């Protein structure tokens, strides 16, 4: 275009910088503006307006670009200044709008720094070619990125940003535990696994233990639901609708995660199942008619204006309307339950030697490697082969994507479970029963148990777990202890928790076994003292 013709041309200047990584090396907006100003100054051009935005041009919908096109259509300008054709369009639709404006004569001229455009048939053809080339570059780059992310996923590296409780390592970009929040993830799962909290109350419970967003804000209800159901926390992750085994450190065990999924699925209401003021509802049955025991609050107004309230537990009489069982005050119920629970408490004289013996077994177990590890390793190799065969079937079209993802999810979960078992057995095969035994002794240690049963909800949990056939009759609480609590409930004052040698002259400490795994023959040797 000749300089003499520029008097009738009114220009818009458009500068764009994508916020995405593939375009970080392109001229920044200030550089584009400096170049445009130098062109305007050199050629004495008339500029009607300037437009800037930081947004990707991969897809349509750029608000500033669309506003500029509308203003060109309305005749407020008929020419453009842009650093490069890719600044205007990287998709077919936006590129077509520019060509249509040229065809309609509403856009007469475009100035680029990297390309000399002429408003001719050949010029428009070449401009269209550059737009198409920009789109090809974007498409190719997107495919490269997707292939790269899929490759990382196959190697066990989660391709996305670190999830709650984790951080991206500043150098390697690998996902590592957040030292401030990682240990709180397990606590959150354990809280929900008690089945006493809905998602609304979990928001508050999680805040109490200090688990928040990086900004310090409370985790929302939707976020709680999301991380409680995310397989990432037991060592796997979903990418492109497929389950992959991850290399990151798991925050919880698969067993705990599965339990949380069961509770999450079964819960139909978000409210807490048990309210603190009626902690023992649904736990007992009437000893006379077998109906459920419910709770109700009685209020009495005194003459001095004070109000006294009591919580009573009574039979619902749904099975027998003439049931004669009386009310039971909550204070009496709690006192009876505490006394019953404390019967199985372990004194210092018993708990400390027990824990010392368990520690001895743990030290000895470190030097033993179970033969099971070889079998498990063989199974792990077979699962790896199955995964490779499944991938081959999917590539060959023998199975559809739905069947592929379903079978792969099952195999990946099985592989993760096997690897954890192999690691545990290789380092300490006995830990499968030694660790639960240690937890069992610590839980029943009187110094801790007495404090725990001071909380009505914890007391309820303990009785519900350890007791069976729970009834109330004649204002008395009746129940049987489940194994292994039953032997403690019926014991006398025992001075030797290991017992005497059996008929095979093998001492219990030479053949250690927790009570709940012992055979009936061995159980009778756990205590040789007189029973109450």
pLDDT score of 68: 92
Q: The tokens of 398 are what? A: 């023998």
Per the model's pLDDT, the better-predicted residue between 266 and 442 turns out to be 442
pLDDT score of 180: 85
Q: What is the pLDDT of residues 264-282, one digit of tens each?
A: 887 744 444 444 467 888 8
Instruction: Provide mean pLDDT across the span 366-384.
Output: 68
**Is residue 424 within 8 Å of residue 432, measured between CB atoms?**
yes
Q: The tokens of 180 are what? A: 């401030």
- Topology (CATH) of 166-266: Hect, E3 ligase catalytic domain fold (3.90.1750)
Q: Which residues pair with 295 in a beta bridge?
A: 313
Pairing between strand 307-315 and 293-301?
antiparallel
pLDDT of 337 over the 60 cut: yes
Axis-axis angle for helices 431-444, 348-365 (nearest 10)? 160
Q: Which of 200-214, 319-333, 437-451 has the lowest mean pLDDT?
A: 437-451
pLDDT of 524 over the 50 cut: no
Q: Which of 104-118, 281-295, 428-442 has the lowest mean pLDDT?
A: 428-442
pLDDT band at residue 299 under the 50/70/90 scheme: confident
Per the model's pLDDT, the better-predicted residue between 55 and 507 turns out to be 55
Instruction: Provide mean pLDDT across the span 462-476.
Output: 89
pLDDT of 259 over the 50 cut: yes
* Closest CA relative to residue 70, chosen from 53, 54, 51, 87: 51
pLDDT score of 140: 64
pTM summary value: 0.40
CA dihedral 53, 55, 58, 60 (to 10 degrees): -70
Distances (CA, A) of 359 to 355, 448, 529: 6, 19, 25
pLDDT score of 143: 61
Q: What is the pLDDT of residues 180-207, one digit of tens each?
A: 889 899 999 999 988 878 888 899 889 8
Q: What share of the chain in percent tops pLDDT 90? A: 16
Per the model's pLDDT, the better-predicted residue between 6 and 221 turns out to be 221
Instruction: Provide mean pLDDT across the span 74-84.
Output: 91
pLDDT of 49 over the 90 cut: yes
Instruction: Provide mean pLDDT across the span 518-526.
Output: 41
pLDDT score of 471: 93
pLDDT score of 476: 93
Per the model's pLDDT, the better-predicted residue between 531 and 53 turns out to be 53
Per the model's pLDDT, the better-predicted residue between 502 and 244 turns out to be 244
Instruction: Provide mean pLDDT across the span 94-119.
Output: 87
pLDDT band at residue 50 under the 50/70/90 scheme: very high
- Architecture, CATH, for domain 3-141: 3-Layer(aba) Sandwich (3.40)
pLDDT score of 138: 66
Give 40: exposed, middle or buried? Use CB within 10 Å, 0-12, 13-18, 19+. middle
Instruction: Provide mean pLDDT across the span 477-492.
Output: 80
**In the chain, domain spans:** 3-141, 166-266, 276-345+446-488, 348-444
* Closest CA relative to residue 483, chosen from 468, 498, 462, 461: 468
**What mean pLDDT, rounded, does the chain reach?**
78
Q: The tokens of 233 are what? A: 């926390």
pLDDT score of 313: 92
Instruction: Provide mean pLDDT across the span 43-55.
Output: 90
pLDDT band at residue 146 under the 50/70/90 scheme: low
Distances (CA, A) of 154 to 147, 240, 242, 407, 451: 10, 11, 10, 16, 49
pLDDT of 399 over the 60 cut: yes
Per the model's pLDDT, the better-predicted residue between 432 and 388 turns out to be 388
* Closest CA relative to residue 245, chosen from 432, 391, 384, 402: 384
Question: Taking the chain, what is the end-to-end CA distance rounded to the nearest angstrom?
Answer: 111
Instruction: Provide mean pLDDT across the span 142-162.
Output: 72
Instruction: Provide mean pLDDT across the span 89-118.
Output: 87
Contacts of 462 by beta carbon, 8 Å cutoff, 6+ apart: 341, 452, 453
Query: φ and ψ at 197, to 5 degrees?
Result: -130, 135
């Amino acid at each position: 275009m000749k300089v003499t013709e520029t008097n009738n041309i009114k220009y818009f200047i458009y500068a764009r910088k994508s916020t995405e990584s593939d375009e970080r090396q392109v001229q920044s907006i200030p550089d584009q503006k400096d170049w445009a100003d130098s062109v305007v100054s050199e050629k004495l051009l008339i500029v009607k307006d300037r437009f800037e935005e930081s947004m990707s041009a991969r897809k349509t919908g750029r608000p500033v670009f669309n506003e500029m096109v509308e203003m060109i259509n309305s005749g407020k300008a008929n020419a453009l200044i842009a650093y490069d054709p890719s600044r205007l369009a990287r998709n077919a639709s936006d590129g077509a709008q520019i060509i249509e404006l040229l065809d309609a004569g509403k856009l007469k001229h475009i100035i680029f720094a990297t390309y000399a455009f002429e408003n001719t048939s050949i010029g428009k053809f070449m401009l269209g070619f550059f737009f198409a080339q920009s789109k090809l570059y974007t498409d190719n780059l997107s495919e490269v990125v997707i292939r790269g992310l899929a490759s990382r996923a196959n190697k066990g590296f989660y391709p996305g940003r670190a999830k709650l409780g984790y951080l991206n390592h500043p150098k390697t970009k690998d996902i590592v535990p957040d030292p401030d929040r990682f240990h709180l993830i397990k606590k959150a799962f354990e809280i929900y696994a008690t089945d006493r909290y809905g998602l609304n109350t979990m928001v508050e419970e999680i805040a109490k233990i200090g688990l928040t967003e990086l900004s310090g804000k409370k985790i929302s209800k939707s976020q709680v639901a999301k991380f409680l159901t995310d397989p990432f926390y037991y060592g796997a992750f979903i990418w492109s609708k497929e389950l992959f085994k991850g290399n990151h450190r798991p925050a919880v065990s698969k067993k705990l995660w599965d339990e949380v999924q069961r509770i999450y699925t079964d819960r139909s209401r978000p409210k807490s199942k048990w309210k603190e003021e009626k902690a023992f509802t649904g736990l007992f049955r009437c000893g006379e008619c077998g109906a459920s025991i419910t709770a109700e609050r009685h209020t009495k107004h005194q003459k001095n204006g004070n109000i006294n309230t009591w919580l009573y537990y009574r039979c619902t009489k749904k099975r027998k309307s003439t049931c004669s069982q009386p009310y039971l005050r909550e204070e009496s119920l709690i006192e009876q339950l505490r006394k019953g629970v404390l019967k199985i408490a372990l004194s210092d004289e018993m708990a400390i030697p027990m824990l010392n013996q368990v520690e001895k077994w743990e030290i000895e177990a470190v030097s033993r490697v179970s033969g099971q590890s070889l079998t498990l390793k063989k199974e792990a190799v077979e699962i790896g082969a199955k995964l490779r065969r499944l991938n081959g079937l999917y590539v060959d079209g023998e199975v559809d994507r739905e069947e592929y993802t379903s079978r792969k999810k099952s195999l990946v979960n099985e592989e993760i479970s096997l690897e954890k078992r192999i690691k545990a057995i290789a380092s300490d095969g006995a830990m499968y029963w030694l660790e639960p035994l240690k937890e069992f002794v610590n839980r029943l240690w009187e110094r801790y148990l007495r404090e725990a049963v001071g909380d009505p909800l914890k007391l309820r949990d303990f009785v519900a777990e350890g007791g069976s056939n729970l009834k109330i009759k004649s204002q008395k609480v009746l129940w049987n202890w489940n194994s292994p609590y039953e032997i403690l409930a019926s014991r006398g004052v025992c001075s030797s928790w290991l017992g005497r040698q059996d008929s095979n002259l093998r001492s219990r400490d030479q053949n250690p076994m927790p009570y709940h795994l012992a055979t009936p023959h061995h159980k009778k040797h756990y205590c040789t003292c007189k029973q109450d």
